[in-house]
Structures are given as C-alpha cells and as structure tokens.
Structure 1
Amino acid sequence: MSLLSSLHDKIVVKNVDQEGNIRPVEPLDNDSIRPTRLKDRTWTQLTYISFWFSATANVSNLYAASTGLTVGLSMWEAVACSFAGQFLAGCLMALNGRGGALYRIPFPVLCRASFGPWGALWPTFNRAVMSIVWNGVNAVQGAQCIYVFLHAIFPSIENIPDKMGPKSALDSAGMMCFLVYWIINCAFLIVPVPKMKSLVYIKVFVYYGAVIAMTGWTVSLAGGTTEALRHGSTIHGSEKSWMICKFLFIGLGSCATFISNAADMQRYARRPNDVIWGQLFSFPVSALAVAVFGNVIASASVSIFGELIWNPLDFLDMLMAGERYTSGNRTACAFIALALAYSTVFSAIFENSIPAGNDIAALLPKYITIKRGFFICAILSYAINPWYLLSSASVFINFLSSYQIFLSAITGILICDYYALRRGRLNIPDLYTADPKGEYHYYHGFGIRAFAAYVLAIVPNFYGFLNQMGVGAGIGVLRFYFVAYPVGISVAFLVYYGFARVWRVRGVVGGRGWREPKEYLDEFDNARYGGDNNGDVEGVQVDVVGKGIANL
C-alpha cells in the first residue's frame, strides 16, 4: 500500500501558489492550464507574424490549392479561392482566440464559460481525438519525407523487403522512417512552448528556402515551360460558380482546426494585440504564396514527366528514378526532403501536439500536465496505426475532412458567448471550480443552452456529412454542404444567443460597452507580488469585476 501511495504522490500534479508553496490539487485545475504566467509570455508580434506565416508551411498545403484544377478551375481561380477562404479563417482565428490572447487560457478552459465545467469535457474530448488522429496522419507524411531523404543517401533502401502488406500506406522501409520521424518529434516535445519561438523562425526560413529552391529547380528542368499555368477554366456558368463557392469554403473549412486552436497558441502572447497582424495578414499571404509555389511545381512536372504530379514528395522521388539518380539530383532531393521533414515535425507540434496537450491536461488535470499530454498524444498517435487508416479507409479520411461541421458549431458558440453576451468579461477563477455557486456551473456543471445550440447547428449539415460517409444525396444537398462551415457557425451563434436572451445566462449583466480589462494576470502569478506593498506591479491593478489583475 505504501508503494502505491508513493507512486500516486509522484504522478499527482504539483500546483504552486504565487509564493512557490504547494497548493491543493483541484479536479478542474492545474498550473499548466491556468492563465500563462507573466514570465512565460514571451511570444512577440514578430513571433506571431512568423508563426502564422509558417502555419501553412507544410507538404499537404503545397498542393492543396491545385486540386481546383482537377474540377475545371484555372490555376489562378483555385489560388484566389484558397486565399479568400484562408483570409476569412484568419478573421475567425482573431475572434475565436481573443479570450486566449487576453486571459492567456487554452481552448478547453474557454469552453467552460459556455458549456460549463463538466460539459466542456465533451468538446475538449472531441478535439483531443481529432488532434491525436491528425498527429498520426502527419506522422505518415513525415515518414515519407524521411524516406525521400534516406533514399537520396542510401539507394538500397528501396530494396528492403516489404512485410507490411497491401493494406498499409507505408512499406517496411517507410515504417523504419516512421519510427525515425516519431523519435525526432518526441525529442522536440521536450522544449517548453514559450521557448519554441526560435523554432518558429527557423521553420519559416527552412521551409520557404526549400520550396523556393524546388520551384526554381523544377522550372529549370522543365526548360522554363509551365504551360499548365496558362490554361483557363474548362467549366462555365452555374457549375463554375458553385465550384468557386466550394473551393472558397474548402479553404475556410480546412482551417477549422487552426480556428479552434487559436486560444492555445495565443495564450503565450506578450501583449494581447501582438497576435492580430499574424492572423489577418501573414496567415492568408503565406497560404497564397504556398499555393502559387505548389501550382508552379505541379505544372513543371507535366513538362518533365509528361504527367501531372501533385504530391511534391512523389515528385522528388521520381527525380531520382533510373538515370536521374545522379549526385546532383540526390543532393538537391536530400536537402529539400530534410527541410520538408523539419517543417512537418513543427506543423504537427503546433497543429496537433499543443492542442492535444491542452485538451488531455484539461480532461484529467489532477494527473496530467500539458507536457505529459504531449507524450500521451505521441504514443496514441502511434498506437492507432495511421499507416493502415490512410491506406484502406477512404470513408475515414472523408470523416476527418468533414469534421469541420462539429468544430464550426463549437466556434459559433464560443464567439457568441465572448462577444455578444459577456462583451469580453470572464470571471477566470470561476472557470477553474466545480462549486455550484460558480458563475459557469449552470445545470449540474453543464451548459444546456450550449449543447442545444451545438446539436441544432449540426442538423442542417448532417445529411451532407452522411453523404461524405457514403450515403446517397441529391445535388442540392451536395451544394449546400459546400457552405457547411459558415452555416454551422451562424446557426450556433444565433441559436445560442436566442436561448441566452430567453433563459438568462448567469453572470451576464445588462448595460452596454465593452468590458475587457486591458491586461490580465493570474491570481497565482508571483509577478503580482513583485511591486509595492499593495501588490501593484508597474501599473497593474486588481480587476474587481473579473477577480483577477488588470492593467486599467
């Protein structure tokens, strides 16, 4: 019994107060999901401009916009749709992440304001599962990058006997590369998030350096001819209008995870407004640049191979096939593949590991910190065997892509709660308590209004979602599903607001005016005690309304 007690003491999360003393462990609270403390608010405006510029810097986005060409859009129409959709996504990130930027709280804690302390476990669990699965999917892509890199150095790797079988997206050599990628990914998870900003800067330089080099190289190999770029659209009339609508909102819906993850990333901001330019400017501009480079590379493949190669990793490997396996080609492919592998590692960390770490920690804060959540995510993303999921389950892939309807409902509720109802005011201490007297306790800890709005926001899009899973549907259903994401947000926003007006939400008071404090410090932040005897720190004062600290 003493051994079990000792083991329990070791795994229980140790929380500390502002003076460094151990404080009691609460069922909804640990230090890693509390508002980020002042010493860890290290991400500047430059960091966020670089971060969101690097957010789209991955392999899949390099050819994502090019898919519009397969349905008859011109290259520039497809790129414009991608840019417009991701500009809208940047606006939604700015809105949905504001609570994280100001109060420095992650997504699962922000959900408690509308869903309740126990009800928030549902959207938190949903997003955690999605982050874990996508982490595994990205790991497969990272393994493919590693394979191209090793193939450039060791040609015999392609002769390794395959023991994985036809149901796997990776052969035996690919599985070896998957293990290498996974170990590298886990090694970088040791770095504290506030200190990752230098890795953000490196990613921007490495990725765009590699992509620009690949673009110049492939265009040179093509003899400077990129004929596919000059082709106009092959569809017209209403069919073309619907395709433009589809790809515009695909550009928006593809960023559903970024939109929901915004608070997790913005909680490390030095100042709340440091995050804005990165979302509104660098994110869509980066998406535009990546789409253009991807289309140019794909277009060059037509002149080089006589066929269109969408996947840049397949392109690189084909550049080393047969007589092309020269020292020059191998060197170029090795450096480009290594740069893409590095970019994939950090795309997975920022898009999947950090959100999953926040979610898993919020699901069981007594025993799990965000860093422990990182490694739980890494282990589970390996355990789900993503190489089999990607190869054999097309319905599963459609499900992942269509999950936007569930995330859009949650996003609409959070935006409505923060802006339309509370007007920027959150009672932070009450977000971390299960006390029935707490402001966000609602009905036994569940926000019934939020759950009702969540369900009703999914209903209009659910038939289209089933169609993605293989259920037959008419052309009207198909086209309505093109706008699934904005419909989900709008319905959730309006329904939740309507319910809140009829059945008043606790803590929402009348009157007008914006009620955000200018700055916030956690009640357990020892910076609070770094000033004079009144506890003020260079103009930072107690925010009586929010029971926190505000720079008034």
Structure 2
Amino acid sequence: MDHTDWAAKGYSPGLTNEDLAPTTPAQRTWGAFSIFNVWTSDVHSLWGYYLAASLFLLCGSFVNFLLAIGIGSLVIFFLMQLVGLAGVRTGVPYPVLARASFGVWGANFPAIIRAIVACFWYGAQTAAASGAIVALLTRSPDVMAFHKNVHFLGHSGLEVICYVVVWALQLLIIQRGMETVRRFQDAAGPGVWFAMLILAIGLLVKAGGFDIGGIPQDVLLASTKDAGVPGVPGSFASLTAVAAVWITYFAALYLNFCDFTRFAKSEKAVRVGNLWGLPVNLLLFSLVAGVTTIAAYKVYGEVLIHPDQISAKFDSWALAALAALTFCVATLGINVVANFVSAAFDISNTFPKQISFKRGGCIAALIALVLYPFAPWEGSAASFVGAIGSTMGPLFGIIMVDYYLVARGAIRVDDLYREHGPYRYQGGWHAKALVAASIGILFSTLLPNFTHLLPEWWGVYGWFFGVAIGGGTYYGLRMLPEAGTEMVHRA
C-alpha cells in the first residue's frame, strides 16, 4: 500500500507510515514454520533456559516440573491464539490494534509501556548473550586477569566490551527489515537445540546416566530461598507459582504477537505454528533444561542454572566455544523477535511521520544501552519476570476484551488510521480504557511492588490480576449506557 492509497482511503498522515499500514497480500509470506520459529527464537535463549532451570528447582521433582510447565504451556498456547488471530485477521501491528480500545492517540499509552518493557528485556537478553562470550573468553588466564582487574560502568571492562559488541550486532539485523528478521529467526531458532542437546548428552555421559531422583531437598531449599516464590519446592503453592511465572514470562508477546501474525499466510499457519512452537516445543525445551540441571549437579556437585556456566566447565575449548556462540546467536534471535520488533513499532507509532520502524528500533537500542550500567535485570529470575510482566496484564485484558467481547471481532481497520473516525473517542483518547488500565496497573504492579498493602504472594500472580481487573473494569465501563452514543466497533 503506497501513499496514494492512504490518501484515497482517508488515512491521516499522523497515524500512518509504511511500517504501520495494514499488510498487503504480497507481504503475507510467513508460513507455519516461520510462526513456529518465532517461538524457537523466543524460548531458546539463555534467559529462557535460566528461567526454566530456576523454575525446575522450585518444583522439587522432575515429574512436578513437567506437570507445572505443561499446564502453563497450554495456557500460553490459548492466549497466543487469541492475539495471533487478531493480527492475521486485521493485518495491523499491536500499537494500531490498540487504537480500537484506547483511541487513535490514546494507543500511545499502551504502546510506550510495551516499548519500555521491551527496552528492559532487550538489555537483559543482550547481557545474557554477552555473558556467554565472557564465560568463554575467561578460559584464557590473560583475559581472566583483564576481567578481574579492569572495571567501569559498574561492570568489568570485558563485560562492557562484549555487551556493546552484541548490542551492535542486533542493529545490523534490524536495519534490513522484517523479512531479514524472519530469515534470521528461521536459522537461529533451531540452532540452539543442537547446542542444548550437546550440553545435555555430554553431561549425561559424564554423570553415568540420568537420575530421576534429582537434587536433594536441602540443596533445593538453599538454592530457592531468595526466589520470591511462596512455598517450599514441590508444594502446591510452589507449583502453581511456577506455572504462573512461566505464563507471565510471555506477557510481552501476548501484546505484540500480532506484529508477526499480520504477515502470516493464513489462520491455519498461525494455529499450526503455535501448536508446535508452544506446548510441544516449550515442554521439550523445559525437559532438556531439567535433565541438564540434574546432570550438572551430579557431575559438578553444584546447582548451575546458567548454561554458559556449564559450558565454561567443558574440558574441550572447541565444545565450549560452540555452545557459547550458539547460545549467543539464539539469544540475539529472541531479542530481535520479542523486543526489538515490538519497540520499533511502538516508538514509530508515537510519531509515524518522523520515526520509521528502523529509527524506532535504534531508539530502543540506545535506551537499552543507557540501562546497562544499572542492570535492573540482575537478581531473581522469577521476581524480574513478575515485576516486568505484571505491567502488561491490564493492557492485554483491555485489548482482548475490546476485540472479542465488545467489538466481537468486527474492527474497522481503515478507521484505525483516521484521526476523525469512530475511534477518536474523546479527542483521540478513550477515557474508559485509560481508567481501566490505571486501575489494573495499580493492583497488578504498583501496590504489590511498591507497598506492603497486599499479601507477599500477590506479586507472583500480578499479571493475572491485571488481566482480570483491567479487562473486567473496561468491560463494565463499556456496558454502561451512554446517551446519544452507540458502540463504534460494530461494522
């Protein structure tokens, strides 16, 4: 769709650019394999492994782990189907879809929140990828000496150098556009399975087989005491928390999965890609993470939940290099897919005429670079995921309630790009959506993370409370009668 088509359709220049416009039939090139690889890229990363291994410790046993992760993965599949189908049916990215519920200008509110979260995750994933390179390089005594003796920006000089190098590599990928993103993820996603299997098989051989008995309870208690998750490992409270954290880990992509499905060939491609990429792939990946954690404990006598820590202990430098580089590439994959793409679209949505997709991505990358000295992602994996994810719960609840319950899927796509169309609401802002989002964020994020007014366990389920409170409040407000006003969604 070019500028002439935009003018003919009455699109407002301040709401449209080439990246935000609805996808054309020629752009819908993503089949089930590409959708599947969105998930291999998203899950098969150092942070994904780190979280899975951390949650494994909280389950107390291998069987409990598979049960909690399996149930969580089915919920993830259902939720991704909801937003994925909205993307393939409308052909618009997340910030444009949000205009239907928040207003043509009000959509900048959820877009900027998602962009900020993407910047935090972008920094966390870049740090994880660079950490794998650091672990490899410090096998050399000279590099280790440099690592220990040179420090700036709150990190070692080696960590800073590796972070900047990995950070810059991602810019090269995103500058080539979404088709390059698809090709990169199709190559990077499956690659980490190779490294994961080498890691697992190598450790199992060293351990002399797999011990389903796992890790002793006293070791689990010591390893999970600061996880921020209620209950002792293996208890019902702990298992439900594990499932909740696993579901919350994908909170960002529940919002912007439509950024990818808008390029899908069909709804069937989304469904098949999601089926293999989510419950099947998630469970297999988690299984390998659990096996590797148990085997690493048996071999090294300590709990190692970072795969780069394990690969750094390999006797073979070549195997250690292969594992480190594969994990690094895989983590770049998730960063580009889950964080760079979203932030680029979200920031572009604020000023479409001035900021393109590529410029939006560069801005997000610069923010992640500024965050690096503060490293807000260091600490408990579960706590970080909960705090970041909970903010997006109300937004997801509102957008999905609006699309499926209020509009019943009848979104007027062209009107999403018209300043004076039915999605203008109150001067371009929808007060009901903003009120619902504010109430939802209050209970999902602000009260549990910055006060002691709510029970300690509340924060673990913050995303769920956000979805229920934000979405429920929005639906209630939309059902209130409005004199002289009809629902704008119905076509």
TM-score where L is the length of structure 1: 0.79
Contact 2:58 2:239 in 1 (8 A): no
Partner SS for 2:235: helix
Contact 1:457 1:489 in 2 (8 A): yes
Check if 1:242 corresponds to 2:220. no
How do residues 64-463 of structure 1 correspond to structure 2 at under 5 angstroms? 64-71=51-58, 73-151=60-138, 156-160=142-146, 162=148, 165=151, 168=154, 170-226=155-211, 228-229=213-214, 240-319=235-314, 324=315, 329-386=316-373, 388-390=375-377, 398=383, 401-435=386-420, 438-462=421-445
Contact 1:52 1:283 in 2 (8 A): yes
Amino acid at match of 1:352: N
CA offsets, 1:436-466, max 9 Å, x none? xx11111111111111221233344457622
Measured after TM superposition, the shift of residue 509 of structure 1 is 6.9
Measured after TM superposition, the shift of residue 404 of structure 1 is 2.5
Is 38-47 or 157-166 further displaced after alignment?
157-166
Partner SS for 1:31: coil
Is 500-509 or 198-207 further displaced after alignment?
500-509
Residue 15 to residue 96, structure 1, CA distance change in 2 (3 Å) = same
Residue 423 to residue 278, structure 1, CA distance change in 2 (3 Å) = same
Looking at structure 2, the residues matched to 105 and 208 of structure 1 have their Cα atoms a distance apart, in angstroms, of 32
Contact 1:94 1:280 in 2 (8 A): no
Looking at structure 2, the residues matched to 114 and 399 of structure 1 have their Cα atoms a distance apart, in angstroms, of 28
Contact 2:210 2:291 in 1 (8 A): no
Higher relative contact order (CA 8 A, sep 6+): 2
Is 490-499 or 332-341 further displaced after alignment?
490-499
Residue 484 to residue 384, structure 1, CA distance change in 2 (3 Å) = closer
Contact 1:149 1:334 in 2 (8 A): yes
Looking at structure 2, the residues matched to 479 and 382 of structure 1 have their Cα atoms a distance apart, in angstroms, of 33
Bigger CA radius of gyration: 1
Amino acid at match of 1:425: A
Contact 2:249 2:385 in 1 (8 A): no
Residue 226 to residue 180, structure 1, CA distance change in 2 (3 Å) = farther
What is the match of residue 478 of structure 1? Answer: 456
Looking at structure 2, the residues matched to 395 and 59 of structure 1 have their Cα atoms a distance apart, in angstroms, of 15
Measured after TM superposition, the shift of residue 490 of structure 1 is 2.3
Contact 2:293 2:305 in 1 (8 A): yes
Measured after TM superposition, the shift of residue 26 of structure 1 is 1.2
RMSD over equivalenced CA pairs, Å = 3.1
Amino acid at match of 1:479: W
Looking at structure 2, the residues matched to 389 and 210 of structure 1 have their Cα atoms a distance apart, in angstroms, of 28
Partner SS for 1:367: coil
Amino acid at match of 1:452: V
CA offsets, 1:124-165, max 9 Å, x none? 11111111121111111111122234446x553222155664
Looking at structure 1, the residues matched to 368 and 388 of structure 2 have their Cα atoms a distance apart, in angstroms, of 18
Measured after TM superposition, the shift of residue 492 of structure 1 is 2.5
Residue 472 to residue 100, structure 1, CA distance change in 2 (3 Å) = same
Contact 1:242 1:479 in 2 (8 A): no
What is the match of residue 225 of structure 2? Answer: none
Contact 2:41 2:337 in 1 (8 A): no
Contact 1:89 1:252 in 2 (8 A): yes
More helix, by proportion? 2
Looking at structure 2, the residues matched to 362 and 408 of structure 1 have their Cα atoms a distance apart, in angstroms, of 21
Contact 2:103 2:424 in 1 (8 A): yes
CA offsets, 1:372-392, max 9 Å, x none? 21222222211222564445x
Looking at structure 2, the residues matched to 291 and 77 of structure 1 have their Cα atoms a distance apart, in angstroms, of 12
Is 423-432 or 75-84 further displaced after alignment?
75-84
Measured after TM superposition, the shift of residue 116 of structure 1 is 0.5
CA offsets, 1:38-96, max 9 Å, x none? 22211012221233244211112223233245446223212321222132122111112
**Unpaired stretches in structure 1, ≥5 consecutive residues:** 1-13, 511-544, 546-552
Partner SS for 2:244: helix
Contact 1:361 1:373 in 2 (8 A): yes
**Which of 466, 479, 484 in structure 2 is aligned with 1:488?**
466
Residue 161 to residue 407, structure 1, CA distance change in 2 (3 Å) = closer
Count of aligned positions: 478
**Which of 473, 477, 484 in structure 2 is aligned with 1:499?**
477
Is 48-57 or 333-342 further displaced after alignment?
48-57
Looking at structure 2, the residues matched to 75 and 17 of structure 1 have their Cα atoms a distance apart, in angstroms, of 59
Looking at structure 2, the residues matched to 167 and 462 of structure 1 have their Cα atoms a distance apart, in angstroms, of 29
Amino acid at match of 1:413: I
Using the aligned pairs only, state the percent identity. Answer: 21
Looking at structure 2, the residues matched to 400 and 71 of structure 1 have their Cα atoms a distance apart, in angstroms, of 15
Residue 494 to residue 486, structure 1, CA distance change in 2 (3 Å) = same
**Which of 50, 59, 62 in structure 2 is aligned with 1:63?**
50
Partner SS for 1:269: coil
